[in-house]
């Protein structure tokens, strides 16, 4: 798939560096490969189809850049240590085990779809002398700059500010230190809070800064318009893609290997859907994930066109629901 076409895919890409910026970065770091990265935590509710959106996209992006002669190192980080910071020592053993399961899931995606992603766990490096030194440098810079510390605090949900302050914002500093040397970071829109701090520190040091590529937010299935109307602001950030229990909406998510196809059909058929491209469209979101999966399975290099077909009127709302209900089973659920 051509890089120009991939980066202009509607309802998939929310913000991206320009194509020139990709090539400029590649030239700057040559002969080293460009580091493309996506990182996530998890919960105890299972592996979401929405995480696959990021795995598949990173692979498609790497393929498109390689087609242009760019060397790429594409990796997925399972932030098991970060997940454990959120749940307390009594649940650490369980959450480390869940981290292993999430890694296994990414490896299954690799095997099934040929995504060729490198998979790393945060616990593999977080206690190394090199990382501890890197994190200490980040903490020192932030502690000496009140504006940066304000930016670090903004990475934390308001309800958890006091808790994280008592922990020295280690969760945020682990994240910032993990991404500061990367080239391209793919993620949901809210993660710009981390990325921005990393860019400021890099600029102060005279280093290259991380470039962010944000995919469209994740929305729950099986909800009517009243849900989106009542939850002001959800259109901007959605729910957490990689945590099935985000906002306690696990019953409104597709959990790979767990969700029943008939139940998924019901979720799809009862979902709010609109021809207005400015409004959330969770059914179309799942359809685009299925489209990426199909193309990887079939080694299909053609563009992703489902969103355009839908908004141009080639596919009706009912037809989209029928298609997505079929595709999610055909190209994803049946493979796990």
- Check pLDDT > 80 for residue 58: yes
96 with 84: CB under 8 angstroms? yes
Would you state the pLDDT for residue 171? 87
Last residue of a domain, one of 188, 215, 242: 215
pLDDT tens column, 222-277: 999 889 888 877 887 899 999 999 999 999 999 999 999 999 999 999 999 999 99
CB burial class (10 A; 0-12, 13-18, 19+) of residue 96? middle
With 0-12 / 13-18 / 19 or more C-beta atoms within 10 angstroms meaning exposed / middle / buried, residue 303 is middle
Residues 133 and 100 in one domain: yes
- Tell me what percent of the residues of the chain surpass a pLDDT of 70: 100
Flag the least confident range among 109-118, 158-167, 183-192, 317-326.
158-167
d(C-alpha 109, C-alpha 99), whole Å? 15
Question: Looking at the predicted structure, is the pLDDT value of residue 64 above 80?
Answer: yes
Instruction: Identify whether residues 170 and 83 lie together within a single domain.
Output: yes
Say if residue 205 is in the same domain as residue 60.
Answer: yes
**pLDDT recorded at residue 96:** 95
- Angle CA(193)–CA(44)–CA(323) in degrees, nearest 5? 80
Fill in the DSSP letter of residue 85. H
Residues 67 and 200 in one domain: yes
The pLDDT assigned to 205 comes to 87
**Model pLDDT for residues 282-305, shown as the tens digit of each residue:** 999 999 999 999 999 999 999 999
Residues 203 and 159 in one domain: yes
**DSSP structure string for 224-282:** -HHHHHHSTTHHHH-B-TT-TTGGG-GGGS-BTTTS-HHHHHHHHHTS---S-TTS--H
pLDDT score for 192? 87
* Secondary structure letter of residue 210 according to DSSP: P
Q: Decide if 2 is inside a domain.
A: no
Widest distance between CA atoms in the chain: 57
* pLDDT single digits (tens) 72-89: 999 999 999 999 988 878
User: Which of the listed residues 162, 187, 215 is the one where a domain comes to its end?
Assistant: 215
Q: Are residues 184 and 243 in the same domain?
A: no
Q: Which helix (H) or strand (E) holds 186?
A: strand 184-187
| Residue span of the structural domain in which 93 resides | 8-215
Q: Are residues 200 and 236 in the same domain?
A: no
Looking at residues 130-156, what average pLDDT do you find? 91
- Asked if residue 38 and residue 162 are part of one domain, the reply reads yes
Instruction: Tell me, yes or no, whether 159 and 268 share the same domain.
Output: no
Residue 96 to residues 38, 39, 84, 92, 315: CA-CA distances in angstroms? Answer: 19, 16, 7, 6, 44
List pLDDT tens digits, range 146-200: 999 999 988 888 878 888 888 888 889 999 999 999 999 999 988 888 999 999 9
Q: Is the pLDDT of residue 106 over 80?
A: yes
Alpha helix ranges (H) inside the chain: 3-6, 19-29, 49-67, 80-87, 92-113, 129-143, 146-154, 161-166, 170-179, 192-205, 225-230, 234-237, 261-269, 282-298, 306-311, 317-331
Give yes or no: residues 156 and 188 share one domain.
yes
Is the pLDDT at 127 greater than 90, yes or no? yes
Read off the pLDDT band of 57 (50, 70, 90).
very high
The residue among 111 and 226 whose pLDDT is bigger is 111
Last residue of a domain, which of 215, 249, 265?
Answer: 215
Output phi, psi for 184, to 5 deg: -125, 125
- 10 Å CB burial of residue 73 (0-12, 13-18, 19+) is middle
């Amino acid at each position: 798939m051509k890089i120009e076409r991939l980066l202009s895919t509607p309802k998939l890409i929310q913000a991206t560096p320009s194509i020139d910026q990709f090539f400029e970065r590649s030239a700057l770091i040559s002969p080293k490969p460009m580091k493309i990265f996506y990182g996530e935590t998890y919960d105890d509710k299972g592996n979401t189809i929405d995480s696959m959106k990021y795995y598949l996209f990173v692979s498609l992006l790497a393929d498109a850049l390689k087609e242009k002669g760019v060397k790429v190192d594409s990796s997925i980080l399972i932030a098991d240590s970060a997940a454990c910071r959120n749940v307390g020592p009594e649940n650490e053993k369980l959450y480390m085990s869940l981290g292993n399961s999430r890694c296994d899931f990414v490896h299954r995606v690799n095997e099934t779809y040929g995504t060729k992603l490198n998979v790393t766990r945060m616990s593999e490096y977080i206690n190394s002398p090199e990382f501890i030194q890197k994190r200490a440098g980040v903490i020192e810079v932030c502690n000496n700059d009140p504006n940066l510390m304000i930016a670090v605090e903004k990475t934390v949900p308001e309800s958890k500010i006091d808790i994280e302050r008592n922990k020295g914002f280690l969760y945020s500093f682990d994240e910032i230190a993990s991404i500061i040397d990367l080239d391209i970071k793919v993620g949901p829109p809210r993660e710009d809070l981390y990325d921005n701090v990393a860019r400021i520190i890099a600029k102060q040091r005279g280093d290259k800064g991380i470039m962010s590529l944000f995919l469209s937010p994740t929305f729950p299935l099986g909800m009517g318009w009243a849900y989106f109307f009542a939850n002001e602001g959800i259109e901007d950030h959605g729910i957490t893609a990689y945590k099935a229990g985000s906002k306690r909406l696990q019953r409104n998510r597709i959990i790979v290997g767990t969700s029943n196809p008939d139940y998924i059909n019901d979720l799809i058929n009862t979902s709010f859907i609109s021809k207005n491209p400015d409004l959330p469209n969770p059914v179309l979101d799942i359809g685009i994930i299925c489209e990426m999966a199909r193309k990887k399975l079939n080694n299909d290099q053609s563009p992703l066109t489902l969103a355009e077909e839908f908004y141009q009127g080639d596919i009706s709302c009912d037809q989209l629901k029928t298609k997505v209900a079929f595709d999610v089973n055909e190209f994803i659920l049946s493979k796990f």
